[in-house]
Amino acid sequence: MQQILTVPSQIGPLLKAARKESHLSQAELARRVGISQSRMSELELNPALISLEQLLAIFGALGLEVAVGQRPGASTPEW
């Protein structure tokens, strides 16, 4: 599965779909990540509440990775 995320609201459905594709319940995924099932449910429903640390832990438990790249047509930031 490859998906480009551009807004936080896309994270919840992505997490839910990846969890189901991995045949994991919310409770099992939460156990693997070290959070409660209710917190996992909350993150799927309201992904704006997720911390980067939690997001990376959940992605790791689901076998997902984060890739960062420049959008086509976007200007290069001056850092």
**Structure confidence by residue, pLDDT tens digits, 29-79:** 999 999 999 999 999 999 999 999 999 999 999 999 988 888 787 777 677
Please, what is the Cα angle at 51 between 19 and 5, to 5 degrees? Answer: 60
> Which residues make Cβ contacts (< 8 Å) with residue 76, sequence separation at least 6?
70
Q: Which residue has the higher pLDDT, 3 or 22?
A: 22
Dist. CA 12–CA 18, nearest whole Å? 10
Phi (first) and psi of residue 9, to 5 degrees: -65, -15
Sign for the pseudo-dihedral over CA of 56, 23, 31, 42: positive
More confident call, 8 vs 23: 23
pLDDT value at position 1? 64
Give pLDDT, residue 25.
97
Specify the pTM: 0.82
pLDDT the model gives residue 16: 95
Query: What is the C-alpha to C-alpha distance for residues 68 and 79, in angstroms, rounded to an integer?
Result: 16
